Amino acid sequence: MANLYYREDLGADAFVPGAEIEVTGDEAHHAVRVSRLRLGEQILLGNGAGALGRGTVTEVSKQRFVVTLAEAQSRTVGTPRLVLAQALAKGDRDERAVEQATEFGVDAIMPWEASRSVSRWADAEKRERGRAKWQRIAREAAKQSVRAIVPEVEAVASLADLVTRAQAEGTAVIALHPAGTAPLSAWAAEHAAAASELILVIGPEGGFADAELDTLRAAGAEVLVLGTTVLRTSSAGPAALALLHTVLGRW
């Protein structure tokens, strides 16, 4: 399979057969010095927003390379848009969730501070650093899984933000919890295709607080169970995404 590299500054109109696209900076350094990109190699090049081209490397130097596109295509986010609201978690468990969710086809990721989150992004600077780190993780995972679209990591959300999203028309918010009244698979088979946006809310290591579940229910969110076992915060979201892709006929 061809390697994928990004030029996020380019619009979709730059990706046409015959176009010669130059890549410089960190992306070129990684391609040439780390991945050992060579003249004549066939690669994929995208802008991370849906445009994707396949072509041949026609120039290579230490800090740049040029690819001549032979074919190009454009991809869009499907409906419903799948969003992972991932609670901040200790260690690297939330980062693992971001990586795997990207590989499993999530469209956007929303960090949220649950009341039982051990990890905290205490101030504006730390919040932006955390969001930027998650975005880098998502970008690298998108490259690894050869995705035309890099999921956006949104600003860190509060419970009130989730309530607002739950009350928006066309948006379905689902909190996954062992005490859920119905399985996600059954709900998705009947309702998922009708939503324009579907937000999966995953709790931290200690789970949701009862008050959080009550607040989400009152706002119209569903509290559902994923399966007969209890998954870690790092694996619940990716598992749910796999289920949704199957129900929606994407996998």
Q: Mind listing the pLDDT tens digit for each residue in 152-187?
A: 999 999 999 999 999 999 999 999 999 898 999 999
Element (H, E) at 211: helix 210-218
Residues 6+ apart with CB under 8 A from 95: 133, 134, 137
- Report CA Rg, the chain: 20
| DSSP single-letter state for residue 12 | G
User: Per-residue pLDDT for 1 more than 80?
Assistant: no
Cut 0.85: pTM above it? yes
Residues 6+ apart with CB under 8 A from 51: 10, 11, 12, 14, 15, 72, 73, 74, 148
Give tens-digit pLDDT for 199-227: 999 999 999 999 999 999 999 999 999 98
The Cα 74–Cα 49 span in angstroms is 9
- Residue 235 corresponds to which tokens in the numbers above? 């694996």
* Sign of torsion over alpha carbons 176, 181, 184, 188: negative
Give tens-digit pLDDT for 70-128: 999 999 999 999 999 999 998 899 999 999 999 999 999 999 999 999 889 989 999 99
Among the listed residues 2, 182, 198, the one whose alpha carbon sits nearest the alpha carbon of residue 81: 198
| End-to-end C-alpha distance for the chain, whole angstroms | 19
